[in-house]
Amino acid sequence: MRCPYCDVQDSRVIDSRPTEEGHAIRRRRECDNCGKRFTTYEKLEEIPLMVIKKDGSRQTFDRNKVLAGIIKACEKRPVPLADIEEAANQIERQLSGSAEKEVSSQAIGELIMEMLKDLDEVAYVRFASVYRQFKDVNTFVAEIEKLLDDGKGKRT
């Protein structure tokens, strides 16, 4: 690391500590030439995940949008907020853990639907009706039948 005082390339680390909840490392250094000390920060450079919208435009992934969609679908349903938060976290982890740095909004919608299917069947159907833009009652009924055939739904 180059010394900011004498511009010599050689310095040594005398102390390292994690900062920012473990997402960065603070290093105290001492220049071998002039003896002055200085601090550097080492941080992982993250490439943001890009979402490709239906119209072809791109925007950075926003976990809050996923969370808002799940909350809206679960509105007035007995789904704990902790479960909703965990679903959003799982989706974010799954997307950021993949090698792809671009993902379609359709793929995100499908992930949300999979999470909702396990969380609450009514919330799943609500989200599906908006996401898949049901045109008529027959499309709506077909989605419910598909849910029942998957064994997730309960017939009474």
Judge whether 6 lies within some domain.
no
Q: What's the total number of domains in the chain?
A: 2
- Least confident stretch, 60-69, 85-94, 95-104, 128-137: 128-137
Helix, strand or coil, per DSSP, at residue 36: coil
Residue 151's pLDDT band (boundaries 50, 70, 90)? low
The mean pLDDT of 59-74, rounded to a whole number, is: 94
Say yes or no: 96 and 31 in one domain: no
CA-closest candidate to residue 1, choices 22, 27, 23: 27
User: Which domain range does residue 29 map to?
Assistant: 11-43
Q: Is the pLDDT of residue 58 over 90?
A: yes
Say yes or no: 29 and 85 in one domain: no
Where would I find the H helices in the chain? Answer: 63-73, 81-97, 105-119, 121-131, 137-149
Measured distance CA(85)–CA(131) in Å, rounded: 20
Say yes or no: 64 and 140 in one domain: yes
Say yes or no: 26 and 93 in one domain: no
Measured distance CA(135)–CA(127) in Å, rounded: 14
Hey, what are 139's tokens?
Answer: 């499309």
CB 96 within 8 A of CB 49: yes
The helix (H) or strand (E) run that includes residue 95 is: helix 81-97
Hey, what are 30's tokens?
Answer: 């001492």
Say yes or no: 104 and 67 in one domain: yes
Percent of the chain with pLDDT over 70: 94
CB 95 within 8 A of CB 108: yes
CA-closest candidate to residue 25, choices 8, 47, 1: 1
Torsion, Cα of 92, 94, 97, 102 (10° steps)? -70
Say yes or no: 80 and 145 in one domain: yes
Residue 156: its pLDDT value, please? Answer: 40
CB 33 within 8 A of CB 2: no
75: which DSSP letter? T
